């Protein structure tokens, strides 16, 4: 099976075969992490860069009163903490939402790779900037859409992202997280998740059984939620600019 990291980063830069081989070699020895474990905590300065190879993780913050907000779901091919070194320390936690295979890559390896391979450098920055775009869309989702559209929008996003890394089949994907996790991502209560979900299923938009989400009518679901995948920046548009552009920020 193709490597999710390579599949993803193809969207961020024009990789060479050498680039691909190097990226693939990063994902050598994944280790298994159980569900609901923290991978990195707020305040830490991780020495390794963590890459998801399989399963689900999430970025989250926990408030003093116990409330929790999930700020991103991390799927295969996603980095947890690529550029923390520049910020100093983590300002949020990353935990598994379900069992997860992940690779810990020494920062030094990434640094070297980036210094000698400008396309990889660019692709990695692209992935960070695309994450930021996703975050912006989540903000719109929480701020402007009501619960049913909000949930539908998230499902659309996950479908597209998982398609990109080859983790879907024709009508859906493995989605083994709990309704409680989902409620923390959507900013609603788990009781309300249960009701809204029932509603989406009643409208024949999705089904979610045995940890598997089926998208019954993707176009309808996208229309319903106002989903447009532009913010994911998956379609590389030719950059007329000087060749320096690839190198300048790498």
Partner DNA sequence: CGCGAACTTGATATTTGTCAACTAAGGTGG
Partner DNA sequence: CCACCTTAGTTGACAAATATCAAGTTCGCG
Interface pick for a second copy out of 129, 191, 194, 204 (rule CB under 8 A)? 129
Q: Of 128 and 204, which CB lies nearer to a second copy in the complex structure?
A: 128
- Shortest reach from residue 96's CB to a second copy, in Å: 19
Q: Of 61 and 107, which CB lies nearer to DNA in the complex structure?
A: 61
Quickly tell me which residue has 């994911």 as its tokens: 232
Compute the residue count for the chain: 250
Token pair recorded at residue 22: 């190097």
User: Contact letters (x/-) for DNA, 152-181, by CB under 7 A?
Assistant: --------------------------xxx-
User: Contact letters (x/-) for a second copy, 41-80, by CB under 8 A?
Assistant: ----x-------------x-x-xx--xxx-x---------
CB-CB contact of 114 with 79 (8 Å): no
**Among 95, 78, 79, 104, CA closest to 35:** 95
First to last CA, the chain: 29
Interface pick for DNA out of 24, 37, 194, 204 (rule CB under 7 A)? 194
Phi, psi of 100 (to 5 degrees): -150, 140
User: Contact letters (x/-) for a second copy, 96-125, by CB under 8 A?
Assistant: -----------xx-xx--xx-----xx--x
Residues at the site binding a second copy, with contacts judged by CB under 8 A: 12, 45, 59, 61, 63-64, 67-69, 71, 83, 85-89, 91-92, 107-108, 110-111, 114-115, 121-122, 125-126, 128-133, 135-140, 142-144, 186-187, 226, 230-231, 233, 236-237, 239, 241-242, 244-245, 247-249
């Amino acid at each position: 099976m193709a490597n999710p990291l390579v599949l993803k980063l193809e969207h961020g830069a024009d990789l060479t075969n050498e680039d691909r081989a190097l990226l693939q070699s990063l994902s050598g020895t994944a280790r298994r992490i159980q569900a609901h474990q923290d991978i990195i905590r707020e305040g830490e300065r991780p020495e390794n860069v963590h890459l998801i190879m399989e399963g689900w993780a999430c970025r989250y913050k926990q408030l003093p009163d116990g409330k929790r907000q999930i700020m991103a779901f991390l799927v295969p091919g996603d980095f947890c903490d690529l550029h923390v070194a520049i910020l100093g320390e983590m300002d949020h936690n990353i935990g598994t939402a379900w069992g997860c295979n992940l690779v810990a890559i020494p920062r030094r390896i990434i640094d070297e790779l980036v210094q000698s391979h400008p396309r990889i450098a660019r692709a990695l920055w692209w992935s960070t900037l695309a994450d930021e775009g996703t975050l912006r869309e989540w903000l719109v989702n929480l701020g402007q859409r009501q619960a049913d559209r909000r949930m539908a929008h998230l499902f659309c996003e996950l479908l597209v992202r998982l398609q990109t890394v080859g983790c879907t089949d024709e009508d859906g994907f493995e989605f083994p997280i709990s309704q409680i996790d989902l409620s923390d991502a959507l900013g609603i209560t788990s009781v309300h998740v249960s009701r809204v979900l029932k509603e989406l299923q009643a409208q024949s938009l999705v089904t979610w059984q045995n940890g598997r989400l089926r998208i019954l009518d993707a176009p309808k679901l996208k229309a319903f939620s106002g989903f447009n995948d532009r913010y994911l920046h998956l379609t590389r548009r030719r950059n007329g600019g000087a060749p320096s552009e690839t190198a300048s920020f790498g």
